[in-house]
Chain A
Amino acid sequence: MKQREYLWAYSFIAAPILGFLLFAFIPLSYSVYVSFTDYSGYQTPVFNGGDNYVKLVQDELFWKTLRNTLYSALSIPIGMICSLGFATALNQKIRGIRFFRTMFFLPTISSVIALTLLWKWIFNDTYGLLNHLLELIGIQGPAWLSSERWAMPAMIIQGVWSGLGINIVLYLAALQGVPRSFYEAAEIDGANGWQRFRHITVPCISPTTLYILITAIIGALQDYPRFQIMTEGGPNYSTTTIVYYLFQNAFRYMNMGFASSMAWILGFIILAVTLLNFYFSRRWVHYE
């Protein structure tokens, strides 16, 4: 009887487990090997020890793309603060909540390509909407995407704008889960609005904050298509992210081995950041 149930269960989970082996485990194992070889994607890989990794550490461009990626991740705290603000406002008993939610959610359901093409034009220094609007308030806007200094800030603005929707929905759900009685008790104790926000709301929604933080960091470290469309990594590599560089090496210069070693370094960075996140989260995340 028990055995029969086991058999059913195993046949039920067979597909995802097989998928895991075929499309995650086997490729991963192979890529460890490839990262230690010279491989163009055409001939057989030639083992070259840790050459790829040595080359990588000495590669100035790699470090630059790493710094760029970290710089682009500035969109995470900015986006989180904005979305918490909007979610708090949405959490009032107000009319038109569906309308506002839809507006903020629009970029989330739109394709990255359409949005990126759109913003590419918005940022255009002569014909773009942004500089026109800035002019209306008397500011001479920069040549956003073609200036080394402003290209990344432009990408950050676009990143914050397009990421708001999903974070607002997550925060709104969390805010609605905070027990009302907490606020009432605090009010009786004479806590003002800011104090209630700081000492009740923020701790109560901290699991969601952690979730957003972790997924956003993993996403930001792998951000790629919008950079390719909007700036092609330029000017002067100022918006080449690490994944962009990896992609170029793998599919343009056909350095699959080198690109694989880069993927693994990035993989370890992501893993380390995630673990650190979990480690420090014990100090600020409160579960019921």
Chain B
Amino acid sequence: MSTRIPTASGPWVSHKQAKERTFKGFAYLFLSAGALVMAVPFLWMLSTSLKQQGMEFEMPPKWIPQHLEWSNYHFVLFESDIVQGFVNTLLIILLPCLVGLFTSALAAYAFARLQFPARNLLFGLLLATMMIPGVVTMIPTFMLFKTIGWIDSWMPLIIPGMFGAAAAVFLLRQFFMTIPKELEDAAKVDGMNPFHTFLRIMLPLSKPALITQGLLNFIAGYNDYLGPLIYINSPEKYTLQLVLASFQGFYTSQWTYIMAGSVLALIPTLLVFFFAQKYFVEGIALTGMKG
């Protein structure tokens, strides 16, 4: 990757431009070194996942195995519970992702646009939940769910998420505040009630924000380990992450299987990120900026 110097200033490159060029060169060097450090572990993961058993401890490591052992993937896919875990995970995160997004957006709209007594107080209350450390609520919530018999079921992982999340309400509220008010006033004149206005005008306009938030919810839910760890005991109800973690016990020395499983687990979020990078980065930048 070369940096071209604009030729408008003639063959002579000014002192300032030369300096900028050096700086850019250093930037590339620095970034490439960083990217390498980030990539090497993943490449190792991939490489190990395709090694024959017994070859994975070879030192110095062969980055490209002589014989690609696809049977590792075959084993993980068909002889382990990883597919079951994947299906379970999808079943668990579907409702919280969709319903939670809807309830969060609805509340965000009310906080952004509607007038009602105690609005700021209630919004503050909601924001306070973001400040409460998760560990403080962990034990009592566990006991609450135990009392109503939800332990070793998916309920604790599904139900709370459907009520919406403070962080999502916060992010979406920021988006709604940027939408011109005239649009709503026109809807009001047309006799639309607030729910209609929300459904027909606000939701379609906030598609990018909704996608961002939906993706964040999906990735967080997909990668969640602590929740399932606390609530799920039966292996047939395990989520993907629990199955992956259990590999460590079942196949103690079989790193090739562990790595194949890790690669498989990574694919869905990688695809999601790849296709939605634009929204993703925007959304994250926005949440951060307003913090």
A-to-B contact residues, CB < 8 Å: 2, 5-6, 8-10, 12-13, 15-20, 22-24, 26-28, 30-31, 34, 41, 85-86, 88-90, 92, 94-96, 98-107, 109-115, 117-119, 121-122, 127, 129, 132, 161, 164, 166, 169-170, 172-174, 177, 193, 207-208, 210-212, 214-215, 218, 221-222, 224-225, 229, 243, 246, 250-251, 256, 259-260, 263-264, 266-267, 270-271, 274
Check B143–A41 contact: CB distance below 8 A: yes
Q: Of A18, A31, A99, which contacts B137 at CB under 8 A?
A: A31
Complex Cα spacing A23 to B89, Å: 22
Q: Of A118, A161, A214, A224, which contacts B45 at CB under 8 A?
A: A118
Q: What A residues does B222 contact at CB under 8 A?
A: 111
Check B132–A24 contact: CB distance below 8 A: yes
Check B244–A111 contact: CB distance below 8 A: yes
User: A267 with B269: in contact, given A8-B195, A170-B288, A251-B230 (CB under 8 Å)?
Assistant: no
B235 at interface, CB cutoff 8 A: no
Complex Cα spacing A95 to B270, Å: 22
Q: What A residues does B35 contact at CB under 8 A?
A: 99-100, 103-104
Complex Cα spacing A213 to B23, Å: 28
Q: How far is the CB of B41 from chain A (nearest CB, A)?
A: 6
Complex Cα spacing A207 to B60, Å: 46
Check B241–A111 contact: CB distance below 8 A: yes
Complex Cα spacing A26 to B115, Å: 28
B-to-A contact residues, CB < 8 Å: 1, 3, 23-24, 26-28, 30-31, 34-35, 37-42, 44-45, 48, 56-57, 59-61, 103-104, 106-107, 109-111, 114-117, 119, 122, 125-126, 129, 131-144, 146, 160, 162-166, 169, 193-195, 198, 219, 222-223, 225-226, 229-230, 240-241, 244-245, 247-248, 255, 258-259, 261-262, 265-266, 269-270, 272-274, 277, 281, 284-286, 288-289, 291
Can you identify 16 A-B contacts, CB atoms within 8 angstroms? A6-B115, A8-B194, A15-B163, A16-B164, A20-B166, A22-B160, A31-B136, A95-B1, A101-B281, A106-B270, A110-B266, A111-B225, A117-B248, A169-B284, A264-B136, A266-B135
Check B144–A26 contact: CB distance below 8 A: yes
Q: What B residues does A256 contact at CB under 8 A?
A: 139, 143
Check B132–A28 contact: CB distance below 8 A: yes
Complex Cα spacing A271 to B37, Å: 35
Q: How far is the CB of A7 from chain B (nearest CB, A)?
A: 9
User: A211 with B291: in contact, given A34-B140, A104-B38, A263-B138 (CB under 8 Å)?
Assistant: yes
* Number of A-B residue pairs having CB atoms within 8 Å of each other in the complex: 274
Q: Closest B-chain residue to A132, C-beta based?
A: B59
Where chain B touches its partner, the secondary structure class is helix
Q: What B residues does A117 contact at CB under 8 A?
A: 244-245, 247-248, 258, 262
Q: How far is the CB of B247 from chain A (nearest CB, A)?
A: 7
User: A6 with B24: in contact, given A24-B137, A86-B34, A89-B31 (CB under 8 Å)?
Assistant: no
Complex Cα spacing A23 to B126, Å: 12
Q: Closest A-chain residue to B56, C-beta based?
A: A127
Q: Closest B-chain residue to A271, C-beta based?
A: B131
Q: What A residues does B34 contact at CB under 8 A?
A: 86, 100, 103-104, 164
Complex Cα spacing A246 to B140, Å: 13
Q: What B residues does A271 contact at CB under 8 A?
A: 131
Check B28–A94 contact: CB distance below 8 A: yes
Q: What B residues does A215 contact at CB under 8 A?
A: 291
Q: How far is the CB of B155 from chain A (nearest CB, A)?
A: 12
Q: Closest A-chain residue to B59, C-beta based?
A: A132
Complex Cα spacing A215 to B131, Å: 10
Q: How far is the CB of B66 from chain A (nearest CB, A)?
A: 19
With A23-B137, A174-B289, A193-B23 given, can you name 11 additional A-B contacts, CB distance below 8 Å? Answer: A8-B195, A12-B198, A15-B107, A22-B160, A106-B42, A107-B38, A111-B223, A117-B248, A118-B45, A173-B281, A218-B133
